[in-house]
Chain A
Amino acid sequence: ILNVEQSPQSLHVQEGDSTNFTCSFPSSNFYALHWYRWETAKSPEALFVMTLNGDEKKKGRISATLNTKEGYSYLYIKGSQPEDSATYLCAFRTGAQKLVFGQGTRLTINP
């Protein structure tokens, strides 16, 4: 059974602070790691698809790193803004099509 874990489950951060959270996944049969940003009542928004060990990807103030050998990925948000409040989901993929999701990190930015 593939298990993907995210930590912490929830996080409160002051506006302007930077933050990061973790996704742990199996280190074998790795194909890709996806990050999504999900606001209530909206579609989960694709942030990154990461495939190579050592990958670093960036979109604005959000970046992610990948370590496939040890089975973890970090998501970083620099200078948090209220609009960053959302649940951040990671999902692991083997060669099959399905995504295996973690439970998400719920981020709240306090103004």
Chain B
Amino acid sequence: EPEVTQTPSHQVTQMGQEVILRCVPISNHLYFYWYRQILGQKVEFLVSFYNNEISEKSEIFDDQFSVERPDGSNFTLKIRSTKLEDSAMYFCASTGDRGPSEQYFGPGTRLTVT
């Protein structure tokens, strides 16, 4: 069964460093998302991406964040200069259409900023 994959599963970085989190969405999907969950808090939306453009972003998704689909398979989230408060589990998701269909989630990347 097709699945969303994410690498790495755990990333430790120092404050101020750049990190890139990688996702491979399901191959025929067109809509891509990043969510995150800070420990003890709710899963929260960061950004949605369609047709090589950001279609929606949250207040969290400021200039320190960017997303890219560099080729036909990968979808990346870059944090330019990490802060301690960026420590969270980051989830990638994808779906095939705009309608009320399931968003399929990857297993997440745990980012720890020290």
Residues of B in contact, count (CB < 8 Å): 26
| B43–A31 touching, CB < 8 Å | no
A residues adjacent to B (C-beta < 8 A) = 4, 31-32, 34, 36, 41-44, 46, 49, 51, 89, 91, 93, 96-104
Which residues 98-114 of B have a CB within 8 angstroms of A? 98, 100-108
Mark B residues whose CB is within 8 Å of A.
Answer: 3-4, 31, 33, 35, 41-45, 48, 50, 55-56, 58, 91, 98, 100-108
Q: Decide if B55 touches A97 in the complex (CB within 8 Å).
A: yes
Residues of A within 8 A of B91 (CB): 44
Main secondary structure on chain A at its contact with chain B? loop
Asked if A97 contacts B56 (CB within 8 A), the reply is: yes
Residue of A nearest to B4 (CB): A43
